[in-house]
Amino acid sequence: MQTTHYLAEIIDELNRSANRISDEEAEQLANEILDANKVFVAGGGRSGFMAKSFAMRMMHMGIDAYVVGETVTPTFEEGDLIIIGSGSGETKQLVSIANKAADIGGKIAAVTINPDSTIGSLADIIVTLPGSPKDQSGDHETIQPMGSLFEQTLLLFYDAIILRFMEKKGLDSDKMYGKHANLE
């Protein structure tokens, strides 16, 4: 198969994935982000990269958003929200972070394939994304290796949440660009 045919199949998979995401779950997450004092994001591996890109866009919108584990990340406190992107919902480091956030009294959002996971059980908000876990044991068919479909859907879902924020706050790209890095 040609590379462009693989690309077309990936796009088809993403279209099927988008149609399986709950609007109600997405709206609940968007509202919780806007109501939170500070927003923290976490994810392992490629999901962590998606989380970082989401934090960056939230910062462009004027939301106090941070990545767990970065040196400039402030203290997580009651009234804050942590969004954990984890396909399995069982990544040990992320489970530990969720437990600590629960002990502190902040809100936890899980964006996951597996809402019945450990992180899902700790979460106040769950957004279920389709995809197959790394071991390919899921029920969502994909030609892609490991968790690629989940990770791609996660990035696009986060970008869709940003568009929803823009709509709710009356922002456009020009207004957001004013918060873009300018020391480079």
Q: What is the pLDDT of residue 142?
A: 76
Indicate left, alpha or beta for 167 from its phi (over 0: left) and psi (-120 to 50: alpha).
alpha
Mean pLDDT by 10 residues, the chain (184 residues): 88 89 96 96 95 95 94 95 96 97 97 96 96 58 75 95 90 67 54
Strand partners, 66: 40
Q: What's the CA gap between 96 and 38, in Å, rounded?
A: 20
The pair of structure tokens assigned to 182 is 């300018």
- Note if 151 is an active site residue: yes
Nearby residues of 78 by Cβ (< 8 Å), 6 or more positions away: 104, 105, 106
pTM of the model: 0.90
State the catalytic residue, choosing from 9, 13, 32, 151. 151
Q: What is the pLDDT of residue 10?
A: 81
Read off the amino acid at residue 30. A
Q: What is the pLDDT of residue 32?
A: 96
Task: Tell whether the torsion through CA atoms of 158, 38, 68 and 101 is positive or negative.
Answer: negative
